[in-house]
A and B are shown apart, each in its own frame.
Chain A
Amino acid sequence: MRLLMSAAFSTALTFPACAQEMLVTVEIPRLEVAEYHAPYLAMWVEGQDGEAASLAVWYDVELRNEEGETWLKDLRQWWRKIGRETEMPVDGVSGPTRPPGKHELGLDASDPQMKALSEGAYEFVIEAAREVGGREILRAPFKWPASAEQKLELKGERELGLVTVVLKP
């Protein structure tokens, strides 16, 4: 995270604000359980040399005394990779949890998260953890910037439904 954020301020690595887009659609399944809480959810990209940057982190941002942050460690891999080194909330990344249904996240090359990505191979990662429920993590490789339109499909089985990522040049 810190690596990429610092790279964001280096104009040498910055792509021109051309059309490069990433559109993520996340399906949060409706679950028939006695006690349902919307999942904590993190999406991020991981580079091949271990660098990583959050795209979005959805959690209980509004709880009193920042209590929502005490459960961020349940997003275990996000916590390990990025969260534990990051002061939350982060503008443009932190947001409230989402109810069951389809949710979209649109980013383009001018967003700080994407601006920071140098050209190369990455993994898109999405992790969901639900209070008194389970956890699920999905990964898919992609190239940035996209030279042609790419579509990634990640199929969750429990805590996530279908996740699609469309990359446009």
Chain B
Amino acid sequence: MTFRKWAAIGLALLLPTAASAHRTWLLPSSTVLSGDDMWVSVDAAASNELFYFDHNAMGLEDLAVTAPDGSSVEAQHQNKGRYRSTFDVQLTQQGTYKLSIDGGGLAGTYMLNGERKRWRGPASEMASLIPQGATDVEIMENYRRIDTFVTLGAPSETAIAPSKKGLEFAYDTHPNDLFAGETAKFRLLMNGKPMPGVEVSIIPGGNRYRDELNEVKVVTGKDGGFEATWPEPGMYWLNAEIRDEKTSVKNAKTRRASYTVTLEVLPQ
């Protein structure tokens, strides 16, 4: 086995949500729409360059679409290609829809017959995932959420309210009312609680065609809050990750959670 492959496995063990090395995202065809009955088409991928599908399609197993009235809507025309997944959402209600890929689970390692093995799965299946006789069992809790928002007509609040599950933003500024040169206020929450002192990364899309990443890092304040300013209109990728020991599963040593959102900033 090459060093590179070992290094990759080492990294994967440290950061068990496999796509960590790449940026995951949902990219809607529009975020601000007018009319009575409209559609958005959405790409879902993990890539290095934003927002180009050049690495891996993202699975849609954990996809959830929340309508302005809070109900769940089925994502239509789902397809998983080599580099991207796609799906469509029909917008029939006026207001804001939330598009999310979110999920949690356990991952870790154990020793069996002198070999270190990796395992991964939902908490409910932990017992069957770790065989009899395994020793040095390491358990890590993982959560991840990848969001984007689209609005037909006037922005609304129901669908964007925090789920209070996993890591996410509370949107004091509406995510579909963002304009270049303005300042937006968001708060980082974990299971509904403010997360102070966490770094949030903000990267404008289009880095394939520029030499600088133009990443801006901000640190959340006491209430988990932070401000984002948008130098240019365009699609932005925001990401935050936490890692701590506040686990909820017995014997789990660490908890890791990530939040990613794609936001569109419009010209003035």
Answer yes or no: A35 CB below 8 A from chain B CBs.
no
Q: In the complex, A80→B32 CA distance in Å?
A: 10
Quick check: is A8 within 8 A (CB to CB) of the other chain? no
**Cβ-defined contact, B267 with A73, below 8 A:** no
CB contacts (< 8 Å) of A67 on chain B: these are 35
Complex contact B35–A69 (CB within 8 A): yes
Contact status A76-B34, CB under 8 Å: no
A150 within 8 A of B: no
Given contacts A69-B34, A70-B33, A70-B35, contact A84 B154 (CB under 8 A): yes
Chain A interface category by residue count = 10 to 19
Bound-state CA distance A71–B33 (Å) is 8
Q: Give Cα A84 to B32, complex, Å.
A: 10
Is B266 an interface residue when CB atoms closer than 8 A count as contact?
Answer: yes
Structural contact, A79 and B32, CB atoms closer than 8 A: yes
* A83-B151 Cα distance, complex, nearest whole Å: 13
Partner of B34, one of A77, A79, A135: A79
Chain B 137-170 per-residue mask, 1 if CB under 8 angstroms from chain A, else 0:
0000000000000000111000000000000000
What is the CB-to-nearest-CB distance from A160 to chain B, in angstroms, rounded to a whole number? 16
B268 CB–A CB distance under 8 Å: yes
**Alpha-carbon distance between A123 and B20 when the two chains are bound, in angstroms:** 49
B34 touches A73 (CB 8 A): yes
Residues of A within 8 Å of B153, CB to CB, are 84
- Asked whether any CB of chain A lies closer than 8 Å to the CB of B244, the reply is no
- The answer to whether A83 touches B266 (Cβ under 8 A) is no
B66 to chain A, nearest CB (A): 20
Q: Is the CB of B35 within 8 A of A76?
A: no
Question: Contact at A77–B35, with CB atoms within 8 Å?
Answer: no
Interface of A is mostly: helix
- The yes or no answer to B177 lying at the interface (CB within 8 A) is yes
How would residues 172 to 183 of chain B score, 1 for a CB under 8 Å from any chain A CB and 0 otherwise? 000001010000
Q: B36, B154, B155, B266: which contacts A76 (Cβ < 8 A)?
A: B266
- Chain B 11-49 near chain A by CB (<8 Å), digits 1 or 0: 000000000000000000000111110100000000000
CA distance A117 to B177 in the complex (A): 26
Is the pair B32, A69 in contact by a Cβ cutoff of 8 Å? no
A85 to B35, CA, bound (A): 12
Residues from chain B with Cβ under 8 Å of A66 in the complex: 35-36
A66 to B35, CA, bound (A): 8
Q: Determine the chain A residues whose CB is within 8 A of the CB of B154 once the complex forms.
A: 84-85
Does A43 sit within 8 A of B, measured CB to CB? Answer: no
Residue of A nearest to B267 (CB): A76
Q: Which residues of A contact B177 (CB under 8 A)?
A: 80
Whether A72 is near chain B, meaning CB under 8 Å from some CB there, is yes
Nearest CB in chain A: distance from B111 CB, A: 58
A91 to B58, CA, bound (A): 48
Measured in the bound complex, the distance between the Cα atoms of B37 and A67 in whole Å is: 10
What are 16 A-B pairs at a CB distance below 8 A?
A: A66-B36, A67-B35, A69-B34, A70-B38, A72-B34, A73-B32, A76-B32, A76-B266, A76-B267, A79-B34, A80-B179, A84-B34, A84-B154, A84-B155, A135-B267, A137-B268
Closest 8 CB pairs of A and B: A70-B35, A73-B34, A84-B154, A72-B34, A69-B35, A73-B32, A85-B154, A84-B153
Contact surface of A with B, Cβ cutoff 8 Å: 66-67, 69-73, 76-77, 79-80, 83-85, 135, 137
